[in-house]
Amino acid sequence: MRIANRKIGKGFTPLIIAELGINHGGNLDLAKKMVHAAAKTGCEAIKHQTHFLDDEMTEDAKKIVPPNADKSIWEIMKKCCLTKDQEIKLKDFTENLGMIYISTPFSRRAADFLAEIGIPAFKIGSGECDNFLLIEHIASIGKPVILSTGMQTSSSIKNPVSIIEASNVDYAILECTNIYPCPPDQISLGSITDLYANFPNAEIGFSDHSIGPEMALASVAMGATIVEKHFTDTKKRKGPDISCSMDPSELEYLIKKSKDISAARDRKKFVAETEKEVYKFARSSIVADIDIPTGTMLTRENIWARRPGNGQIPGYEYQKVIGKIARNEIKKNQQIKWTDIE
């Protein structure tokens, strides 16, 4: 999978996406400040949310209050959404810092707008995972898609995935639990393995709403090639998603450690050059377990394997000396050499 010029998959470091979301509260200057803070950590990608309320919601949304808020979803989004011109400026600002800018369109008009301004990929949020009309529309644009799967089952995920696959676009599936913040006992990291098995054409990642970097880093160890997590320049700000957001120090830590973990995860078993010096003391050599007179047959009763491992005959080759005859006397705990036996 590729987003812009960034390759994603096993063999590449995980793509860490700083989810700006609505943490800026509708303030473009603050949004830019957050993007700049993320850029300084070495983060490669910013994700935004694109809201056109009149195409996204009906008046009924004014009666719905999210569990992590004290206002209706309509009021929250009306305050937090950017205008078209503001979003273009935010995208340009992000890309001028060398970062990838993607966004979640919550409506058909939002998707068309994002396509017009040339974003390299779409994110489909968990809430839209069963909005098949919108998914069909987004997938038909022909850009890579990242699909979050909160509030879904292993079975129900197949429906949106089949729509995306029919459009023949690259896509990723993110394991996700939509609780803000999400306690560890509600996170299903084991699902990452299941998603790889059930959707072999997809990249698999993790959208993290927990507090701290632990779950995100664990997801990388489980195979996640994309990690998305909410981000703010400081946790002193207010907003429904601040509680589960990273600050710059946490983002920097997540980026560094995810690289280390993914490198170790993808590396096959081998003997490191620096391990060879350890071998000399950590492994064993064949020694005499008692004094062995000349002409004595070597058996399991008179030999043993003991450290260090710098002898001629390593401990794992003990069977090669069983039945051999001592050419000379071999003292107890003396490393046995091939010239000592025949």
- pTM listed for this prediction: 0.88
Query: What confidence score (pLDDT) does residue 276 get?
Result: 82
pLDDT per residue as tens digits for the range 47-60: 999 999 999 999 99
Residues 6+ apart with CB under 8 A from 269: none
Instruction: Please check the confidence at residue 279 and state whether its pLDDT lies above 90.
Output: no
- Here the tokens at position 103 are 């966004």
Residue 215 · residue 187 · CB < 8 Å: yes
DSSP code of residue 187 = -
187-220: buried (b, 16+ CB within 10 Å) or exposed (e) per residue? bebebbeebbebbeebbbbbbbbbbebebbbbbb
Instruction: Please check the confidence at residue 68 and state whether its pLDDT lies above 80.
Output: no
Residue 251 · residue 32 · CB < 8 Å: no
Distances (CA, A) of 330 to 299, 309, 322: 13, 18, 15
- % of the chain with per-residue pLDDT over 90: 91
pLDDT per residue as tens digits for the range 7-66: 999 999 999 999 999 999 999 999 999 999 999 999 999 999 999 999 999 999 999 998
Domains of the chain and CATH, by start: 8-266 (3.20.20.70), 275-340 (3.90.1210.10)
pLDDT per residue as tens digits for the range 129-188: 999 999 999 999 999 999 999 999 999 999 999 999 999 999 999 999 999 999 999 999
Q: Tokens 């990273």 identify what position?
A: 246
- % of the chain with per-residue pLDDT over 70: 100
